[in-house]
């Protein structure tokens, strides 16, 4: 198309340009809303994953059996580690009994824990589940589940420490 055709379209009095501009603005606003929501959820996911990793690490460290540590062996009380993790979720993350997070009266997210695997030797605590949240935009309906798998391992026998946070 040449410049004269564009001039003709823009100067057209039939209303075609107005409809085209409205459609274009709607498309841009919708795309912007989706991108904003994606980055909001990604940020929320990273924050929750970071705090969960700290909780899993603290639970493993708290449940380490010191009487074995002196001898160079790594052992953990797995029941104590799980108990400490739940305490961390309620006290530090401020989650209610259903593992839901509220700011004021507004629901923000819920942790859906599928599986907690704790082993005594080697001391390992693995937390698997999903972060359930909703969009802040009314036209993006439904719940969004973002899966996570967080693990912490302590092995002092060979003088190593390993932590991993996986999606």
Rounded distance between C-alpha atoms, residue 107 and residue 100, angstroms: 7
133: its two tokens? 């949240």
* pLDDT exceeds 80 at position 8: no
Residue 158: pLDDT over 60: no
CA dist 58 and 75 (Å) reads 15
Total domains in the fold of the chain: 1
Burial 101-140 (b: 16+ CB within 10 A, else e): beeeeeeebbbeeeebebebebbbbbbbbbbbbebeeeee
Cα of 96 vs its chain's centroid, Å: 17
Mean pLDDT of 112-124: 87
**What's the pTM value of the predicted model, to 2 decimals?**
0.74
Expressed as residue numbers, the domain containing 148 is: 3-166
Residue 43's pLDDT band, with cuts at 50, 70 and 90, is very high
CB 136 within 8 A of CB 37: yes
Question: In the structure encoding, which two tokens stand for residue 116, read together?
Answer: 């907690």
């Amino acid at each position: 198309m040449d410049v004269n055709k564009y001039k003709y379209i823009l100067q057209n009095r039939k209303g075609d340009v107005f409809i085209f501009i409205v459609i274009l603005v709607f498309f841009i606003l919708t795309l912007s809303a989706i991108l904003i929501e994606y980055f909001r959820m990604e940020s929320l996911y990273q924050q929750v994953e970071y705090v969960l990793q700290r909780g899993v690490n603290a639970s493993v460290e708290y449940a380490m059996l010191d009487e074995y540590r002196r001898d160079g062996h790594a052992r953990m009380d797995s029941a104590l580690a799980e108990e400490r993790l739940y305490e961390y979720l309620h006290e530090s993350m401020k989650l209610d009994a259903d593992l839901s997070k509220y700011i004021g009266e507004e629901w923000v997210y819920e942790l859906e824990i599928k599986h907690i695997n704790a082993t005594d030797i080697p001391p390992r605590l693995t937390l698997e589940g999903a972060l359930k949240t909703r969009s802040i935009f009314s036209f993006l309906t439904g719940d969004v589940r973002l899966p996570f798998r967080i693990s912490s391992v302590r092995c002092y026998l060979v003088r190593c420490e390993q932590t991993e946070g996986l999606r």
